[in-house]
Structure 1
């Protein structure tokens, strides 16, 4: 195994991440401002955004009081008066549309070396900003999350032991989650960890009760905690010259892109796939926005679809059975350079998950990396329309492999897998 590959895997396996803050995005980054927002996936022009992303920008303009009505917000967008840039360029990750505005409530993670990342708090699985909902209920919830829940959790952190976010993910895998599309156990563990601190805050008892009730009723509440941690470890593994290991996967609903450690911030893209999803009753493929979001940073960091044998219940959500889950996790090992030393799968005798997608291996084998993801309706505000196991075409991985060769950074091929042990 080449030294760059080993160094990248060492960073993925050895970087520690803790929960730093829960706050509004304007307090986490200077990359957002008036009519200056972040979005999921590789760069995209405002005129080309898909329906859910347009709806989420409408939500953002209303949240920021940049617009007083939906019609006014649409006019601002149509005049091109909103600037958008990728979450990944701001050390952030956003689920689905991924729109982040100054007042968006976010989770902030931090490594021991000072890398800070963030992701919007999860609003639940109904109408939400990430799906492009902009009704009064969505706006009221967002304002409550930013004005009550976020500061309550942030203060609770001051009264709690440091929260190791990667240990949270590892425990979730042990308890039956994949920590991308199933986070029921992980969210429960998070609730248990934060509640004592909440009880010590200055907040009124009724506010604390609402915070706890919201967390308890949202099985995806832990997602931003998991993916902000994943972004932190992949950033720690980025920028290693010659390394063929993928450090980001993301999609804007038009293009799916990857970044590779040895190739900096360059995106290698392909048309966003849809796969063969399990659709909600009454929905058709014509209703589906192609894959969208940054949450496949989960698979990049070694969980999600790469840990589906840890989460039997996820198969009923994305389609398939345990035999398929075993086949997928085994197949992902053929395109990864190593295994995780901390993300262990009980059903595989506590073997580590596949870790470190190697673009040379993908090119050489033709095996498509997979993600398990939710899919949004193509129209703003219609919410989730399905979910599935989505293969990602080989093309961007092969293009990155060739780019590394052209830069004199190795040849395509499959080296031995590197095992790590906790």
Structure 2
């Protein structure tokens, strides 16, 4: 009998370990049976004659979007937010279920808007519900990092698809540490937000409009293409993207005629905040994914979002319905003396980057990210390869040099997640569980398993109805 020179092992590692112990090369295939209880729904959805063409349409629509920065303006103007209205990250939630960082951000937002003098006084305001309304950012074509709280006076980036004129929005990035989006609301947080409202926002508006009207809007999708070649993955590493954005806007900021001290402080603030471009990457991804919404028969995920309590997804073929489960605590690295007991479950709309195929899906293009979120460089490479198993396509614009410029995995397919049991990989910041603490670390996290079978069930129901009709 001839000893094999190479063995492929699928499933459990016992056999593979035994073969490897005999000095035979082994390729391990991460195979597992479909998620329990999904067999009938999988059969209905996979057998839906609309599915293949619908997914092709969804992917083509997503890849056809080019996001450009066309304006910066207050949320009251571009989103129609009124006094007492607050947007937040993730699926819908009420104050009584809100996590610590979500509550902290809402409390700080209420003080910023003058609804209360002391953020602590906002607790009674939100408990009563009198004069305040909470709504997900996604419901107004907006995304917000971490707590994602948006109030009427906050300035927003406005991105537009040049072909369709569709728009999406995101607030300006405050930086890391003790900031509102991580649930901090101290005097320094409010002072910074006041400066962003009174100085940074108007200055950026002037620069963005000047560039737009002279040489054309800043091409955010193009910057994303370049930064992925330069070691960023556009979720927790945005250094190259931030500097390229600053390159495009700095001359117009200097030539704006505004006070030179204000311009210098703005340039210093953006230049020292590596995450500043995140708030452009997120609405660029949402703009692309929104183009793929509402396609009957499509099984493609168009949003993943967390509010610190629930993790929710939306799917192209099921409209605006949210499929939710409990948000998970990330596994990662902690700042200072913080540990797992200090971390809140996952929070934020920033998983829109992974939904579009970057962030955690593109970790292979940014191996240095492991120094922030944990893991190893081989883990980063393996993650990107693994995400190809649950996605519909590769993005030819966004490529990974170390993988021979293979396109990033794009278009999460509910059926593939349920068939393989492989969950999307997200890299994320971690907020403190208590209101007011701020950032405590960064790490890796997955969605709760049960939300994908929930979405599959709804897709199956629609497939069966369509077949009868």
Q: TM-score, normalised by structure 1?
A: 0.94
**1:334 paired to 2:385:** no
The aligned counterpart of 2:207 is: 156
- Alpha-carbon distance, 1:150 to partner: 1.3
Indicate conservation of the 8 Å contact 1:23/1:146, yes or no. Answer: no
SS at match of 2:295: coil
SS at match of 2:274: coil
Distance in 1 between residues matched to 2:123 and 2:237, nearest whole Å: 34
Indicate conservation of the 8 Å contact 1:158/1:197, yes or no. Answer: no
The aligned counterpart of 2:277 is: 222
Distance in 2 between residues matched to 1:172 and 1:374, nearest whole Å: 20
**1:252 paired to 2:303:** no
**1:143 paired to 2:194:** yes
The aligned counterpart of 1:382 is: 437
The aligned counterpart of 1:193 is: 248
Q: Which deviates further from its counterpart, 132-141 or 175-184?
A: 132-141
SS at match of 2:158: strand
SS at match of 1:149: helix
User: What does 1:261-340 align with in structure 2 at a 5 Å threshold?
Assistant: 261-340=316-395
The aligned counterpart of 2:147 is: 97
Distance in 1 between residues matched to 2:183 and 2:427, nearest whole Å: 21
**1:213 paired to 2:264:** no
The aligned counterpart of 2:38 is: none
Distance in 2 between residues matched to 1:41 and 1:100, nearest whole Å: 13
SS at match of 2:223: helix
State which of 84, 89, 97 in structure 2 corresponds to 1:40: 89
- Alpha-carbon distance, 1:269 to partner: 0.7
- Alpha-carbon distance, 1:379 to partner: 1.0
1:311-341 Cα distance to aligned partner (Å, 9 max, x none): 0110111111111011111110000000102
Q: Which structure 2 residue ranges, 5 or more long, are not aligned? A: 1-50
**1:60 paired to 2:115:** no
Q: CA RMSD in A?
A: 1.5
Q: Which deviates further from its counterpart, 330-339 or 159-168?
A: 159-168
Indicate conservation of the 8 Å contact 1:242/1:409, yes or no. Answer: no
Larger radius of gyration: 2
Distance in 1 between residues matched to 2:420 and 2:95, nearest whole Å: 37
Runs of 4+ in 1 over 3 A off after TM superposition: none
Q: Which structure 1 residue ranges, 5 or more long, are not aligned? A: 412-422
The aligned counterpart of 1:80 is: 129
The aligned counterpart of 1:396 is: 451
The aligned counterpart of 1:417 is: none
User: What does 1:339-354 align with in structure 2 at a 5 Å threshold?
Assistant: 339-354=394-409
Indicate conservation of the 8 Å contact 1:273/1:392, yes or no. Answer: yes
The aligned counterpart of 2:76 is: 26
Q: Which deviates further from its counterpart, 81-90 or 350-359?
A: 81-90
**1:359 paired to 2:431:** no
The aligned counterpart of 1:235 is: 290
Q: Which deviates further from its counterpart, 386-395 or 371-380?
A: 386-395
- Alpha-carbon distance, 1:409 to partner: 7.1
Distance in 1 between residues matched to 2:274 and 2:418, nearest whole Å: 37
The number of residue pairs the alignment matches comes to: 410
Indicate conservation of the 8 Å contact 1:376/1:386, yes or no. Answer: yes
- Alpha-carbon distance, 1:288 to partner: 1.0
Distance in 2 between residues matched to 1:139 and 1:202, nearest whole Å: 27
Indicate conservation of the 8 Å contact 2:156/2:172, yes or no. Answer: yes
Distance in 1 between residues matched to 2:343 and 2:254, nearest whole Å: 43
SS at match of 1:60: helix
Q: Which deviates further from its counterpart, 353-362 or 268-277?
A: 268-277
